[in-house]
């Protein structure tokens, strides 16, 4: 039992300590990678533009 405790302690000492404010959630990691890809950001803006255009075109038909 003592051997396992020694191994566990060695592994824990080798791991870098992460402060609570440095913990990255999956959403944060996704957004960080997504922002680096300029074509992906351009495509996302294009899709948002098309969606907004479709929404506002349906409002204009009543005039």
Task: Give 12-32 as a DSSP string.
Answer: HHHSPP--GGG---HHHHHHH
Q: Write down the domain spans for the chain.
A: 19-63
Distance CA(20)–CA(37), nearest Å, equals 27
Structure tokens of 52?
A: 């907004």
Distance CA(40)–CA(53), nearest Å, equals 20
Is the whole model's pTM more than 0.85, yes or no?
no
- Which residues, in sequence order, are CB contacts of 32 under 8 Å at separation 6+? 24
- Tell me the per-residue pLDDT of 2-56, one tens digit each, with 9 for 90 and over: 566 777 787 777 777 766 667 788 998 999 899 999 999 999 999 999 999 888 8
């Amino acid at each position: 039992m003592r051997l396992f405790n020694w191994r566990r302690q060695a592994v824990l000492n080798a791991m870098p300590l992460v402060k609570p404010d440095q913990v990255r959630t999956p959403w944060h990691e996704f957004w960080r990678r997504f922002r680096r890809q300029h074509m992906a950001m351009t495509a996302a803006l294009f899709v948002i533009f098309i969606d907004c255009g479709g929404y506002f075109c349906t409002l204009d038909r009543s005039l």
